[in-house]
Amino acid sequence: MPPAVPPQAPPHTGAVSGVLELLAFLRDPGFAGRRFAELGDVFETVLAGQPQVFVRGAGPVAELMTQAAALEGWWPPSVSELLGRNSLANRNGEAHMARRRAVGRLFSAQALKGYAPGIARICDKVASGIAAAPQPLALAEWMRPFAFEVIAEVVLGLSPAGRQGLYEDFEIWTSGLFSLPIAYPTSRLARAKAARRRLISRIHGLLPCLSVLVGACDEAGLPLQDADLADQLLLLLFAGYETTASSLTLLVLLLLQHPSTIPWLQQEVDAVPWPPSGAGLEQLETLPRLNAVIKEVLRLVPPVGGFFRRAIAPVQLGPYTIAAGRVIQVDISATQRDGQVFTEPEAFRPERQLEGPAPGAAYIPFGLAPRVCLGRPLAELELRLLTVRLLQTLRFSLQPDQDLSLDMIPTPRPRSGVLVRAAAKQSAP
């Protein structure tokens, strides 16, 4: 009988402590790309003492999807602490699924219909505010408060007084996610921890006024305790705000960088009744050009660059065996630019989305089951509504000579904030 062939580990960068690797990962947008080019679609490195396997490409990701039972959720310790130990993001198994069921009802089809009028009203406020503001302006500075107001007011039902102070602390908290995991007194991580304490305190004070999670139960069928509810609400604020604000900003930027797409899309959105309701709201989900633009934006620049899993049993990816206990990081950005799936993968070409769906493993902007982003339906509704209203009411021009390179962590952000000039259209519906 021939001897057993030992498992083959992925190619390794040679990093030992991983301190320099972590600095490069946090600061260099090309960190993974260069290593993939050198080592292939699956490689291993060390980030601050933590061995991690990086994965890209529709093929390896499809293979990973078939082994979901061998995987669990994982976050770097500093991120996990900021999210909160009760957060569904930090839970696995039935504890995770119970909290998904509780939070998921906020994003049901019926709930979204109820949110739409409030979101449309905020869209009108943003469009008129942009038109009246001193020009030029940084578009990102309008998208971030918009997304926060939607999740805080429309979804969670917070009053203006209830929202007071939340936004500023939330900005500090999100800036600490994926920062250097060193909490000296003035570090971003230390400031984020302090902001989290203030946020949780405020959320606890608001719980008696919130009905959105009344009746939510844990995996044992018992009502969720206040500490548990507070962590779920904090995650909701992040999931419904940070990533959506990023995608809204980048959608407008990509349209302005590809102006020939605007009249192609304009013809469709000008026919949308405003504010959309009933059949008009359902029509938004079927508008081919609008949805093609949104899908292409999310393909080219997904709202998060990747996600983590931890192997709880050996995982096989092609010839490589990933040992139990290893952390796996799936590179969404690289996977969605897979040249074996997409023609001209680096190009912004919404028309490709009308040619038929890509393989499931090649288009994963909201992650993989069973941990797909719960806020996806809300994010897509916001993208549709605000895109329609901005194009119906405003003309934009992109300012020259600005730094449009992206900071990628925690979400893609153009460094300039996307400086534009905006003018109201005279015949806006």
pTM score above 0.85: yes
* Residue 1 pLDDT greater than 70, yes or no: no
Percentage of the chain modeled with pLDDT above 90:
71
Spans of all domains in the chain: 19-424
Q: Measuring CA to CA, which residue among 379, 45, 405, 23 is closest to residue 178? A: 23
Tell whether the model's pLDDT for residue 353 goes beyond 90.
Answer: yes
User: Which pLDDT score is estimated for 105?
Assistant: 85
SS3 39: helix
Residue-averaged pLDDT of the chain: 92
Residues contacting residue 420 through CB under 8 Å, at least 6 positions apart: 136, 137, 139, 252, 256, 396, 397, 398, 399
Which stretches does DSSP call E strand in 271-418? 306-311, 315-317, 320-322, 327-331, 394-398, 406-407, 413-414
Asked whether residue 320 carries a pLDDT value surpassing 70, the answer given is yes
In this predicted model, what pLDDT tens digit does every residue of 371-394 receive, in sequence order?
988 889 999 999 999 999 999 999
Least confident among 19-28, 285-294, 318-327: 19-28
Architecture of domain 19-424: Orthogonal Bundle (1.10)
How far are the Cα atoms of 200, 214, 219, 220, 381 from residue 95, in angstroms, in the given order?
21, 18, 5, 9, 28
What is the C-alpha separation between 368 and 284, in angstroms, rounded?
25
In tens, the pLDDT along 234-260 reads 988 887 788 899 999 999 999 999 999
Q: Yes or no: say if 86 and 231 are a contact pair by the CB < 8 Å rule.
A: yes
Residue by residue, DSSP assigns 94-151 as: HHHHHHHHHHHGGGSHHHHHHHHHHHHHHHHHHHHHHHHS-SSEETHHHHHHHHHHII
pLDDT in tens, 156-183: 888 887 777 788 898 899 889 888 888 8
State the burial class of residue 387 (Cβ atoms within 10 Å of its Cβ: 0-12, 13-18, 19+). buried
